[in-house]
Structure 1
């Protein structure tokens, strides 16, 4: 459990970093955790990356963890897939890597939950992951209802948004708002978990389905973004 939390924490850091700094941090971390290299490369103080001040805990033993190896490989494949987008950031370049995914969902109709389908556009390499996530949500005890899904969307700020590379999904934005640092609503209306059925519940079916596959929930961002999940 401690290993899994550590891994998810590291990849949470990856998801909010710029492309260049993410790759730098990945090389730094890989050098420490590379299979067969158990030497502690830290001094008494935790090692820090030059550009992001990210502390890497000393004496971490996860070199043989298959989850770690899986996500390292996954991120390498995604970086390779998106090389042309990094060099030529534009909708015209990015859209070539996107696919539409149909997923099962629950909808509310006259107060009753009814089975339905929805489509979301994401990075091609994440398509199967996204299908698995929403199938798990659909089969969960909450039967969490979904009325709005957003995936790929080329943003004016380009690569600063993971929506621009199809690696972010927004769910029910009205009931899962984005806030500023002072808690003022920027997008959406009101988050009422446990009261409004469309609001995402912390540690509920939606959060569990995403987090177990390495996705990050935006609730912990400095500008809390309750609708948002990204990889």
Structure 2
């Protein structure tokens, strides 16, 4: 009897259920793969109708331990933000924010210079943010950063993920927000492959954020090329 091995890992699952450039939130992923899912219970048992000569291969499911870690990690973030959701005030939100120093490249007289930058984010995302920017810094592009924004309390409260420190904007002038009809709403012009400050779809920046489950705003109804959020 054949025995098939199905490996379920963090990144393999994320890639399987991704839609375009948007990854499902981890809680949605958990619901899809939750043991005892009701959909599985409604599948009829046709085993008796099969010929006795037909052998059904056994499937051994091997789950990457990191998968459980990321599910737990997302739940911790939800718990940490619960009082922010219940009490959407600037005073409450800011208590959960920390400043993170990250390595970056800057352009000076056409040369890329090693430097540092600080960005304010949700405390539970601090280590991931450090890891993301370290990967960008060490990447072959040596992507230059001249402007970096994170936590920013806004009057519309929690409709913006910047208000809970779960969004980061990079080089807004060169990575604008554009309406569906092509009007530039924020920033100036996106020129990937021409302007070194513009983020490219297959470049180091997008890859580093995607590995940690962040979504790039390029796929939004209002394309937001500067924006990444968790």
Aligned residues: 203
Quick check: 1:33–1:63 contact (8 Å CA) kept in 2?
Answer: no
Quick check: 1:177–1:191 contact (8 Å CA) kept in 2?
Answer: yes
Q: Which residue is 2:47 aligned to?
A: none
Q: Distance in 2 between matches of 1:216 and 1:131?
A: 17
Q: Which residue is 1:51 aligned to?
A: none
Report the alpha carbon displacement of residue 203 of structure 1 after superposing the two structures with TM: 1.2
Q: Which residue is 2:101 aligned to?
A: 102
Quick check: 1:8–1:211 contact (8 Å CA) kept in 2?
Answer: no
Q: Distance in 2 between matches of 1:95 and 1:170?
A: 18
Q: Distance in 2 between matches of 1:31 and 1:227?
A: 30
What is the TM-score when the length of structure 2 is the normalising length?
Answer: 0.80
1:67-126 CA-partner distances (Å, limit 9, x unpaired): 543332222101110111111001110000000000000000011000000000000000
- How large is the RMSD of aligned CA atoms in angstroms? 2.6
What is the TM-score when the length of structure 1 is the normalising length?
Answer: 0.79
Q: Which residue is 2:196 aligned to?
A: 197
SS of match in other structure, 1:12: coil
Q: Distance in 1 between matches of 2:141 and 2:210?
A: 17
Q: Which residue is 1:141 aligned to?
A: 140
Report the alpha carbon displacement of residue 14 of structure 1 after superposing the two structures with TM: 3.4
Q: Distance in 2 between matches of 1:71 and 1:208?
A: 18
Q: Which residue is 1:47 aligned to?
A: none
Q: Distance in 1 between matches of 2:73 and 2:207?
A: 20
Q: Distance in 2 between matches of 1:163 and 1:225?
A: 13
